[in-house]
Amino acid sequence: MKFKFLSFLFSCLTLVGIAQEPEQPDFVIPRYTVEFEAVRSLAQVLDYWHPLMETDQAWNKNKGDGAVVFILDTGQNPHPDLSQNGQQYNFNTTPEPMADGNGHGSYCAGVIASQDNTFGALGIAPDAIIVSGKVMRNNGTGSSTEIAAGIRKAADIYAATFPDKIGIISMSFGGGSPMPDTEQALLYAQSKGMVLVASAGNNGYPGQGNTMGWPARYDFVNSVAALDQQSKPAQFSSGGEGLDCTAYGVSIYSTNQNQGYARVSGTSFSGPMIAGVCALIGTQHRAALLAGDRTKINERVSAHLKKYATDLEGAGWDVRTGNGLPKATVINNPLPDQGGVEPPQPPGKLRTVNVTVPGEYTMFWRAADKELFENIRLKFEVEYQSTYPATKAHSVASGWIGSFFVQRGFVLLAGDDEWEALFWARHFAEMISKAQGFPIVCARITATNEGGQVFTLAGNQRRQGAAAKGKAGIKS
């Protein structure tokens, strides 16, 4: 399986790294833009996003020296503006030389840890250790096998070499479907105590669906969209259910692979910015994080990002910015929990959460006196009692509802109609969710039949003006 890297460079630059492959790969890396490249910088550039991220206020406490960030990308070349304190641990899982012959990995490194000196760029966590893992080839492609090996290599180096620091993996690649070896490698890294961050992708957002790539779509990976200079969602930025947060990704000044500098755009660079914020959080709360269950560090840092992010688009979570913008100053807040995903609820109390499950689900039904199955499209609004956040419910509920109703059919009693089909769909949804350990109540379920008629049941209602009757069988 291949990851394809599409890089578009403007002005006098040439098109870089479009791999020629005989068939469409399962994964692609989002295209990004380079506006210009400079040979050197005589003075340090305090880029526009620094005051917006409030880095100066956070740096009064730390600049990331308690963290090590593993940048899994196209490699990283030596640069006068990048610390070499982690260079001896750089590694390569591709068959090519370690050097970054593409540039993407070098851009990502500068966003995170360009040093605070008198020249060049300035990263968000300039004192963090950075380790480069080359998992992508110079032409922009990489196999899932090589990427999975890189993730495991990063986790092993972290556990053996940096046990007293917070470890972070920054990934600016993605694809259209999950790969089992990559997923297992990520879970392995999480078990070692590493924080996982991935760019959401540059597919834009048409107003519905989910345009994010993998691994950003995993619920245990912190997915990051992009903002423009006005703190609005960048036009190219992907979105959808499960998006965690956002950061700046338009015209970011960073290091390049030729010991110079460039301005770059893409979620490829907002992701590393949040990886840098994680380095600041990890440094500030290192003692508490390392003293607890290391397998929960990723969850705890993720909870911190979400809880203290600045809301941007409307009230609460949304598909373009997730939970909002986690500024560097989130480090000033205490950890939101002592080992779980979110702050503890009051003793003996659970929240009731309402969730509209995204998407429509097709179900087939027929009465015993009919010959052919009829098709109805279902929409669910559910209630559940839990300490989980609502975003967790979206992914969990849609997962089991979708898997259950695909190619399912109900055989009902003679004379039954859409109302009875809807009632039994609700009944089985509640029954299956209970069996899955995530019990819900269908607050509202709506069906549209093949003729366009709409049927809605709310609460405990069975059907309009009819008494409950009969039982239903189920056919796979």
Cα distance between residue 35 and residue 265, in whole Å: 8
Nearest to 106 by CA among 1, 15, 7: 7
Q: Is 50 a catalytic residue?
A: no
What's the half-sphere exposure (Cβ side, CA atoms, 13 Å) at 287? 1
Q: Is 73 a catalytic residue?
A: yes
Q: Which of 7, 47, 73, 394 is catalytic?
A: 73
Contacts of 17 (CB under 8 A, 6+ apart): 5, 6, 7, 102, 104, 138, 139, 140
Is 246:224 a contact under the CB 8 Å cutoff?
Answer: yes
Q: Which two tokens stand for residue 317?
A: 């979570």
- Give the chain as a 3 state SS string: CEEEEEEEECCCCCCECCCCCCCCCCEEEEEEEEEEEECCCCCECCCCHHHHHCHHHHCCCCCCCCEEEEEEECCCCCCCCECCCCHHHCEECCCCCCCCCCCHHHHHHHHHHECCCCCECCCCCCCCEEEEEECCCCCCCEEHHHHHHHHHHHHHHHHHHCCCCEEEEEECCCECCCCHHHHHHHHHHHHCCCEEEEECCCCCCCCCCCCCCECCCCCCCEEEEEECCCCCECCCCCCCCCCCEEEECCCEEEECCCCCEEEEECHHHHHHHHHHHHHHHHHHCHHHHHHCCHHHHHHHHHHHHHHHCECCCCCCCECCCECCECCHHHHHCCCCCCCCCCCCCCCCCCEEEEEECCCCEEEEEEECCCCCCEEEEEEEEEEEEECCCHHHHHHHHHHHHHHHHCCCEEEECCCCCHHHHHHHHHHHHHHHHHHCCCCCEEEEEEEEECCCCEEEEECCCCCCCCCCCCCCEEEC
The amino acid present at 265, given as its one-letter code, is S
Q: Which of 79, 104, 304, 394 is catalytic?
A: 104
Q: Is 394 a catalytic residue?
A: no
Q: Which of 7, 106, 143, 268 is catalytic?
A: 268
Active site residues: 73, 104, 268
